[in-house]
Chains A and B, each alone.
Chain A
Amino acid sequence: MKSLNTYRAGPDEDGHFGIFGGRYVAETLMPLILSVEKAYSEAKNDPEFACRMSYYFSQYVGRPSPLYFAERLTGHLASSRGGAKIYFKREDLNHTGAHKINNCIGQILLAKRMGKTRIIAETGAGMHGVAVATVCALFDIPCVIYMGSVDIERQAPNVLRMNMLGAEVKPVTSGSSTLKDAMNDALRDWVANVEDTYYLIGTVAGPHPYPVMVRDFQSVIGEEVRQQMQKAEGRLPDTLVACIGGGSNALGLFFPFLDDASVRIVAVEAAGEGIDTGRHAASLTAGAPGVLHGNRTYLLQNEDGQINEAHSISAGLDYPGIGPEHSWLHDVKRAEYVSITDDEALDAFHLCTRLEGIIPALESAHAIAQVCKMAGGLARDNLLVLNMSGRGDKDLDTVAKFKSSQKSGGTAA
């Protein structure tokens, strides 16, 4: 592949990143998608909109989030050969406990601007659902959150939070009863309620303009890292690591650095019980390009184009697709896409909790596990930034259950 002048020019005006992206939606939604696109491009050029975003970022979300030097983890992973200097970008310290709120602030301001009076959203781990319910409480708009019944069970604390915030959580029992099915039902709701409803998508996927819009709202993560690293070390970071389900926290961190050739970019998919077991969520590692949920992207699917169920201990990574810009970055080889199993993520979860006193989300634990694998082999002055995309309080039940099932099953950790 010919090297590009820039990796930051996409998408084209029809929402394509190379062959990926696009607007593969039912005609009923097309006029609506076009109006979201128009409203977003106007808002993007409106200083007043930027001003309101930055107000809520600083006063409500608590931005900028710290760039924290994880000294004990750095020491623990150092080897005789070297060992990267590890920083955590603390998105877990945001209001609502994850990076999801960044995007929700942007989109709720857009929905208000468009005069919409009802919000719908899908959620997997519940972090996006909680963030949506939060901004809907703040801006006094009713909201309905679609959530797979399997996820409702494994993320009970988040369901309770959404209910308390005034959201209606609708259980989805079709298909595999997880994130992809929640997205199907949210789209079905939207088709039926086009006049008053705004669909607040939680990741860098879906029909154009969602992938670019969510990326833009999340890019505050990487922009802050750039400044914070300059202040801390006087230069750019060398390595960026983030987990990906749909890929919004990763793209938020990566995007501002795509044109800095010296910065190595590593994204971590969920390998579930192992790629070769077929029970995983690694769309780029083991999927193929296809069309689902409004965009062309890598998908887990069979030879007939039927979508496979994804599997991961982490509900937030349990999606058979990925944002189209990641598919493109993968194919042009600007970013490396690797995968981490449930077991590896759990080990990293415990390691981080004990060493740093930070309980990471199981999603973020996948990124930590990758850092554990690679840090020792990097030079001692390699500045590595790990996106701590969320806090792990919501996952305590899952981790506890896994521990007890291991005890009863007698398998060694």
Chain B
Amino acid sequence: MTVETRIGRRFRSLKDEGRGGLVIFVTAGDPNPEISLEIIKSLPAAGADIIELGMPFSDPMADGPAVQASSLRALKSGASMKKTLDLARAFRAGDDETPLVLMGYYNPIYIYGVDKFLADAKTAGVDGLIIVDLPPEENEDLCLPAIRAGINFIFLTTPTTDNARLPKVVEQASGFVYYVSITGTTGTASADLGDIKAAVERIGKQTDLPIAVGFGIKTP
């Protein structure tokens, strides 16, 4: 029996309230550490039910121009994994409710050291991880250690994840399942609502976890 995380609690209360949740992504340290913290602090009041904090990376292969630019801006003003975790900790000091999910690419975590990263992230109040370039085939790297450390590992499912593959993807999923609603990089196309509905129903048959939809969103 796993301990309920802030993510689990938040989705339970959303269900009780009978409404969908809003997950907001911002890149940590963009445009600089101070403003970034202010932005993150303001998100819950602005309507964010869950915050996704992007870990800046020099080579964000799955991201479109907007997220690439934010990542580079953050790196230019000195962003690092340590500072991202500092930011998470500073946010958590003033908000013990809003789930915080770190999103990004594996290499900065690998270089920081997986065990140290998980320990520091847990202490900082991080609830979940979304790592774009860690498919279930590489679960040994970070997914299984994260689960052992009590941090949710959130898997991406996509229009190309067919029914035969879906069980493998959601097998170790926890927190919620992220549905990437377009085949493309972030913010480059808009998804069709009918397609999303069908996909969410399809995924819902394979998992009891909440499903969040993202990527295919260009405008508010």
Task: Write the residues of chain A forming the contact surface with B, with a CB cutoff of 8 angstroms.
Answer: 14, 22-32, 174-175, 180-181, 184, 187-188, 191-195, 288, 290-294, 296, 299, 301, 303-307
Q: A23–B184 contact, CB under 8 A?
A: no
B144 interface contact, C-beta 8 A: no
Q: How far is the CA of A5 from the CA of B165 in the complex (A)?
A: 36
Which B residues are CB-close (under 8 A) to A188?
A: 61-64, 185
Q: Is the CB of A192 within 8 A of B110?
A: no
Surface stretch bound by A, among B92-100, B153-161, B196-204: B153-161
> Which single member of B56, B62, B135, B185 contacts A30 (CB below 8 Å)?
B135
Whether A174 pairs with B107 at a CB distance below 8 angstroms is no
Q: Which residue of A lies closest to B79 (CB)?
A: A304
Task: Check if B183 sits within 8 Å of A27, measured CB to CB.
Answer: no
In the complex, what's the smallest C-beta–C-beta distance from B120 to chain A, in angstroms? 14
- Which chain B residues numbered 70 to 103 have a C-beta less than 8 Å away from chain A? 75, 80-82
Chain A residues within 8 Å of B132, by CB: 26
A305 contact from B112, B161, B183, B185, Cβ within 8 A: B112
B17 on interface, CB distance cutoff 8 Å: no
A192 to B62, CA, bound (A): 10
Any A CB within 8 A of the CB of B137: yes
Q: Does B134 touch A at the CB level, under 8 Å?
A: yes
**B160 contacts A184, C-beta separation under 8 Å:** no
Please, which residues of chain B bring their CB within 8 A of the CB of A194?
A: 160, 183
- Give the nearest-CB partner of A181 in chain B: B59
Inter-chain CA distance A187–B61, complex, in Å, is 7
Q: Please give me the 4 A-B residue pairs with the lowest Cβ-Cβ distance, nearest first.
A: A305-B111, A305-B108, A192-B184, A306-B58
Chain B residue with the shortest CB-CB distance to A186:
B61
Q: Does B171 contact A (CB under 8 A)?
A: no
| B172 smallest CB distance to A (angstroms) | 13
Q: Give residues 153-210 of B contacting A (CB, 8 Å).
A: 155-162, 165, 169, 180, 182-185, 188-189
Pick from A291, A294, A304: contact of B80, CB under 8 Å: A304
Across-interface contacts of B180 in A (CB, < 8 A): 27-28
With A191-B62, A304-B80 as known contacts, state yes or no: A28 contacts B133, CB within 8 Å.
no
Chain B residues with a Cβ under 8 A of chain A: 56-64, 68, 75, 80-82, 105-112, 132-135, 137-138, 155-162, 165, 169, 180, 182-185, 188-189
23 A-B residue pairs with CB within 8 Å: A23-B137, A26-B62, A27-B135, A27-B156, A27-B161, A28-B156, A29-B160, A30-B135, A30-B137, A31-B161, A187-B62, A188-B185, A191-B62, A191-B185, A192-B188, A291-B110, A296-B110, A303-B111, A304-B81, A304-B108, A304-B111, A305-B108, A305-B111
Instruction: Give chain B nearest CB distance to A367 CB in angstroms.
Output: 28
Q: Is the CB of A290 within 8 A of B111?
A: yes
B134 and chain A: residue at smallest CB distance: A24
Closest chain A CB from B196 CB (angstroms): 15
Whether the Cβ atoms of B185 and A192 lie closer than 8 Å is yes
Q: Closest Cβ of chain B: how far from A39's Cβ, in Å? A: 16
Residues in A neighbouring B184, C-beta threshold 8 A: 191-192
Given A174-B68, A192-B185, A290:B110 Cβ within 8 A: yes
With known contacts A194-B160, A304-B108, A306-B75, A28–B59 Cβ distance under 8 A: no
Q: In the bound complex, what is the Cα–Cα distance between A29 and B159 (angstroms)?
A: 10
Give CA–CA (A187, B138) in the complex, Å.
19
- Cα of A28 to Cα of B57 in the assembled complex, Å: 20
Instruction: Identify 12 new A-B residue pairs, CB closer than 8 A, beyond the known A26-B132, A29-B160, A194-B183.
Output: A26-B133, A26-B135, A27-B161, A28-B156, A175-B59, A188-B64, A191-B185, A291-B133, A305-B108, A305-B109, A306-B57, A307-B107
CB distance from A48 to the nearest CB of B (A): 28
Evaluate contact between B157 and A24: CB separation under 8 angstroms: no
Asked whether, in the complex, the Cβ of A290 is within 8 Å of the Cβ of B107, the reply is yes
The residues of A that contact B182 with a CB separation of less than 8 Å are 192
Q: How far is the CB of A72 from chain B (nearest CB, A)?
A: 44
By a CB distance below 8 angstroms, the chain A residues around B59 are 175, 180-181, 184, 292-293, 307
With a cutoff of 8 Å between Cβ atoms, the chain B residues found around residue A290 in the complex are 107, 110-111
Report Cα–Cα, A307/B108, bound state, in Å.
9
Give the docked Cα–Cα distance between A292 and B180 (Å): 21
Closest to B105 in A: A291
Q: How many Å lie between the Cα of A307 and that of B75 in the bound state?
A: 11
B158, A28: Cβ atoms closer than 8 Å: yes
Contacts of A293 in B (CB 8 A): 59, 61
- B100: shortest Cβ distance to chain A, in Å? 20
Residues of B within 8 A of A187 (CB): 61-62
